[in-house]
Structure 1
């Protein structure tokens, strides 16, 4: 594409004149402006990788839901088909906003480079998702952060990335009542039956919030996903236990 070729020429010229340099962590095709200072790992990720957000234990820490300080930065990025779709949607929106400049021969394809294993001195833990969850942009910066409701959902989907199910249970005990409406909405939108069952048990039986007007209707609706005779477990990392919830048909193996 002529546009891409022209962009490559501009980049090479800026590198030659010391305006740009390859990013030390991303390497090829991601560049730093030499006159600007560095930024934290989550900011660099947001600038270099257009689709993806901070999640799991890192999001829990940002929302004040845990006293643990993860050494690694936990990230979610889209799988290749989803990344292509998101790029096409972003480029289509750019064409609508800038119709005079939107000529096919001038287009430079939008890419979504995978974050490196070490980013600004921090290890990254990257999860690839077929469908992206909900996120917000952190005020005053570029960082994209899983919403608080999405963060509670992720605790039940991947407790292994959130400090383990025992820690997740403690976090729900302490904080779920405060964020009940956001949690219920996010769980309700989820396509995962097991997430709904785990959330139903925690909110209804563990926390006694099943009749709370903020979420009672949604929680009652999740009961249809409970399966009699199933081998579903609260903690997916541990074996089935005989202690169980009769109502939610869930092994309480924590």
Structure 2
């Protein structure tokens, strides 16, 4: 994006896809409101355009997607609109360098992707939701890019909450200050898998409901629980409820 410092980049196709999903998921609200504010957009917007239609226009024209996303966000954060849930999965991918390259072939930091920056600004508290709502991000400990700064930021948050001495960045490891700064004020909630007892209760419920057609005993519970990464609910369901065809 010309004129930005540091140089920032838009993900046009990704933003267009996101606008499409936003329009579909929130049609009941967006279709009841029209564009009220003045926006500088690369395409003409007819009078009385609904916000659903605005999202559709951005979805159809990737080159206009980012300006339209900005316009839509400005509209839905105006007075009188309901609270917003702003959520993202795979937070690790936002807290490191991206796979993109700048014109000088240097790596582009994820925070220099404007859509990512939009989310990071809100989860860090740099920007707020005027009508209230929640900013939620999810991550996992497996199959993720290496993010030393994010791990350290979370460790420091947990240590502060426990009244323990806060671990300082290692002088031997390059610490991403942008990541540390963006995460220093977040609230953490650790989610764990079910215990074997909880998994058995869930499987017995499925069996009683008729959706699980096998005996629920210690052996079957232990098998499903172990294969499901020590009790990940979705994986237990995948393993227990998958269709079985007997010839």
Q: TM-score, normalised by structure 1?
A: 0.26
Per residue, is there more strand in 1 or in 2? 1
Q: TM-score, normalised by structure 2?
A: 0.27
